[in-house]
Amino acid sequence: MIRFVMINKKNKRFDFYSYTNEIMNNLKNELESNGLEFYLNKETIRKATFEYKQKEFLINFTVVATSETIQLKVDITLPTKDTSNLELHDVKIKIKDLMIGEWEQCVWLEDSQSELFAEELYKKVHSVENSLRRLINSIMFFKLGGDWWDRYMPYDLINKYNQRSDQYRRRTPSFDNIHTNLMSIDTGDLIRILNYKTYKLKRNSIFREPDEMNLFEGFAEPLNALTRDEKEKLFLFQGIMNSIFFNTKSIEKLHPNLLEKLEEQMEVDKDFWEDYFLPWFSCDSRKFSGLWSEFTTDRNHVAHNKLIDLKLRNKFNKGMSELQKLITEAEKKFEKFTETEVASYLEETRFEAEVIQRQQTDDWKDYIEEATGIRILEESNIIEEFQENLTASFDNLKDMFYYRSDLEFLYNEPTLNEESIIFTIEHNVTRDDIQVIVLPDIDSSAGATSTVTLRVITNDKEEMFDLYYTNGEAEYNDEQTNYMPLVQDHWEVTSGLSKMEKFISSLISSDFPEITEDEIANVPCRHCESYTIYFSDEESDVESPSRYKTGECLNCGRINTLGFCMRCDRTLNQEEDGLCDGCEAYIDAQ
């Protein structure tokens, strides 16, 4: 329902029937409507239906005339009771505009559409206000602690809150034991918190404490001595304070002078916007303060039930949407920051706890070792000792066959937390290899045995070697009130490593015979095309079992036919028959 009344027509001549006809016909033309019909015509009441953009409106005119005044009341309604449509706004404003110039006053009596706009906007007002309150609380609690309100806020805000807080708590007993400081603070005061600054005395203020007595006072000025200008300022300050103490009523008159003198001695300690809020906002303080000032004005308009038209509604929505976006973005940035900070703090806390736990464990183990003579090693210490023994053993193997240029040694220090290949010996010519695989089982519990199994494999041979470490263990003797050894710590690695070294040495000697470059033919294998054909020009009817046959491919094992000397039948390092070097020399000498 829209209801307003026009009061006192400027032109005293007034014909109710013709005037309402004129207004409605003008409305029809202005809004380009094809539907207008008066369906009730009485002396003081006329009712019409008006169609606009496929919406039908009921428009009533009621005239109230006396000898002193004449009033024309207008009622506009929708049959569907939908007061939120924009067509209603166009109709009511256009009727008002068509009439306003001919009447002295227009009084708005009822506007359900304006009320609906206010209801819609007030939800957004509430959301924007509480978003900023929530953000301020979150940042301040994180940066300055739970008592930031009482420690840093100005007394007028604290007093305003305290006065209201008691009333609110009495009215809502379910919330009388919670902290609600910002929920009762006025909207305009929130921006004061964002831009608030605290101050501290300057390092060189006139109130600084003098240094201890200077032994060279007669020779040079004390380092912290007041200058003549500072002494003058201190004298003026003392004069102002004397006047206030003598007559407290003089504070109002002397307040500007006192404030000026104090400001000269102070400097900013905490700038709330720069220090705490700027990192999260995508705008500067000036822009946000301007937007919030407009919001405060708009918020009061909505909260105090003032009329709202379509343009004002759109303006309010735009301003509040921009503010809500800035605050929401700031909240998300700060939440992401706190998540990272909390995760970092928890990780640091866990690390510190682990350090303390390890230190306590180490202290206890040191005490046990001192009292009983046994050692209880941590897992890392057990692994480290195993690694040292393994490294030394494989260094021994490399030293044993240092002269063998045809062998490649590769060692990867094991982590001993999973199965892995830690040592490989590869023949550069045959590409056969020996691999050492470690299978660890580390248990650092007191009295437990850790096992490291070394699995040596090559072609058709395999052997396992076990290394052991048993951790020490002690028990408390109630009768003697001290710790007694229960399991003595000990290592069993020398025997296993020695056996492994002998096994690998035997494998190399038997299965990896030394082959020099002179024993490799200069021709490729006819079967695998690799240059790995064994060649020996020594004359022997019986081949040694530890040697390869001349012409045998060390890569694929197939036999290749090499050429022979046509004079002495010696095998040649070539595919075709020919003369050996000796025979060529003999023939040349003839």
Q: What is the mean pLDDT of residues 281-305?
A: 88
- What would the mean pLDDT of 290-294 be, rounded to a whole number? 91
Residue of 500 and 510 predicted with greater confidence: 500
Same domain, 394 and 436: yes
Measure Cα distances from 501 to 235, 307, 402 in Å: 94, 98, 14
Compute the radius of gyration of the chain from its Cα atoms: 51
Query: Average pLDDT, stretch 197-225?
Result: 59
* Residue among 144, 152, 150 at smallest CA distance from 165: 150
Q: E-strand spans in 459-510?
A: 461-470, 473-477, 482-487, 490-492
pLDDT tops 70 at residue 476: yes
Asked if the structure places residue 335 within a domain, the reply is: no
- Position 537 scores a pLDDT of 64
Q: What pLDDT score does 216 carry? A: 41
Query: Do 528 and 503 lie in a common domain?
Result: no
Could you give the count of Cα atoms lying within 13 Å of 177 in the half-sphere of its Cβ? Answer: 1
Task: Let me know whether 19 and 50 are in one domain.
Answer: yes
pLDDT at 528: 85
For residue 216, being part of any structural domain is answered with no
492 and 519 in a single domain? The answer is: no
Residue 552 included in any domain: yes
Q: What's the confidence (pLDDT) of residue 170?
A: 59
Residue with tokens 């500072």: 230
Conformational region of residue 256, where left means phi above 0, alpha means psi within -120 to 50, and beta covers everything else? alpha
- Model confidence over 330-372: pLDDT tens digits? 999 999 998 888 888 778 878 888 888 878 888 888 888 888 8
- Tell me which H or E stretch contains 574: none
Q: How much is the average pLDDT of 284-306? A: 88
Higher pLDDT among residues 565 and 438, named by residue:
438
Whether the Cβ atoms of residue 104 and residue 8 lie closer than 8 Å to each other: yes
Which of 489, 511, 533 is where one domain is finished? Answer: 511
The pLDDT value given to residue 220: 44
Whether 8 and 36 map to the same domain: the answer is yes
Residues 32 and 151 reside in one and the same domain: no
What is the predicted pLDDT for the residue at 213?
42
Question: How many CB atoms sit inside 10 A of residue 496's CB?
Answer: 19
User: In angstroms, how far apart are the furthest CA atoms of the chain?
Assistant: 164
On whether the pTM is more than 0.75, the answer is no
12 falls within a domain: yes
CA distance 536 to 542: 13
pLDDT of residue 222 exceeding 70:
no
> Predicted confidence band at 274 (pLDDT cuts at 50, 70, 90)?
very high
Say how many domains are in the chain: 4
pLDDT value of residue 247: 63
- pLDDT bin (cut points 50, 70, 90) of residue 240 is low
Where does a domain end: 511, 543, 568?
511
522 and 500 housed in the same domain: no
241 domain-assigned: no
pLDDT at residue number 421: 94
Residue 215, classified by CB atoms within 10 Å of its CB into exposed (0-12), middle (13-18) or buried (19+), is exposed
Is the predicted pLDDT of residue 325 greater than 60, yes or no?
yes
Q: For residue 166, what pLDDT band results from cuts at 50, 70 and 90? A: low
Report the alpha-carbon distance of residue 174 to residue 176 in Å, rounded.
6
> What are 486's two structure tokens?
């229960």
E strand or H helix that includes residue 321: helix 310-372
Same domain, 291 and 415: no
What pLDDT score was predicted for residue 422? 93
The CATH number for 24's domain is 3.30.310
> For residue 213, is it within any domain?
no
526: its two tokens: 């006819």
> What backbone torsions phi and psi does residue 587 show, to the nearest 5 degrees?
-65, -40
Q: What is the DSSP letter of 76?
A: E
Of 434, 394, 443, 399, the C-alpha closest to 414 is 394
Q: Answer yes or no: is pLDDT of 544 > 60.
A: no
Q: What is the pLDDT of residue 542?
A: 42
More confident residue, 371 or 185: 371
Q: What is the mean pLDDT of residues 272-287?
A: 93
Per-residue pLDDT band for 487 (boundaries 50, 70, 90) equals: very high
Paired residues of 202 in beta bridges: none
What is the Cα 476 distance to its own chain's centre?
49
The mean per-residue pLDDT over the stretch 416-435 comes to 88
Task: Taking residues 131-147, report their average pLDDT.
Answer: 89
Can you state the percent helix, strand and coil of the chain, rounding each to 5? 45, 20, 30
Q: pLDDT tens for residues 30-68? A: 999 889 999 999 999 999 999 998 888 999 999 998 877
Q: What's residue 117's pLDDT? A: 84
**Burial, 254: exposed, middle or buried (Cβ in 10 Å; 0-12, 13-18, 19+)?**
middle
Please report the pLDDT score of residue 182 as a whole number: 64
In angstroms, rounded to a whole number, what is the distance separating the alpha carbons of residues 80 and 525?
100
Please report the pLDDT score of residue 212 as a whole number: 44
- Over residues 391-415, the mean pLDDT reads 89
The residue ranges of DSSP E strands in 218-291, in sequence order, are 266-271
**Domain check: are 419 and 323 in the same one?**
no
Residue 207 has pLDDT above 60, yes or no: yes
Entry field: residues in the chain: 590
Residue type, 492: E
pLDDT at 558: 84
Ranking 117-126, 206-215, 352-361 by mean pLDDT, the lowest is 206-215
Distance CA 26, CA 98 (A): 8
With contact defined as beta carbons under 8 Å apart, do 281 and 292 qualify? no
- pLDDT at position 218 is 42
Where residue 590 falls among pLDDT bands split at 50, 70, 90? Answer: confident
Q: In this structure, are residues 225 and 208 in contact, taking their beta carbons and an 8 Å threshold?
A: no
Q: Of 456, 421, 437, 434, whose CA–CA distance to 511 is shortest?
A: 434
SS3 (DSSP) at 414: coil
pLDDT of 496 over the 90 cut: yes
**Confidence check: pLDDT of 547 > 70:** no
Distance CA(497)–CA(389), nearest Å, equals 8
Question: What pLDDT score does 235 carry?
Answer: 66
Does residue 433 lie in a domain region?
A: yes
Q: Where a domain ends, among 306, 327, 348?
A: 327
Residue 211 lies in a domain: no
For the record, the structure tokens of 345 come out as 């703090």
User: Which pLDDT value is given to residue 36?
Assistant: 92
Whether residues 504 and 386 share a domain: the answer is yes
Average pLDDT for the chain: 83
488's CB contacts (< 8 A; 6+ apart) are 374, 470, 472
Residue 542's domain spans which residues?
515-590
- Does one domain contain both 384 and 442? yes
Query: Is the domain of 442 the same as that of 397?
Result: yes
545: pLDDT confidence band, cut at 50, 70 and 90? very low
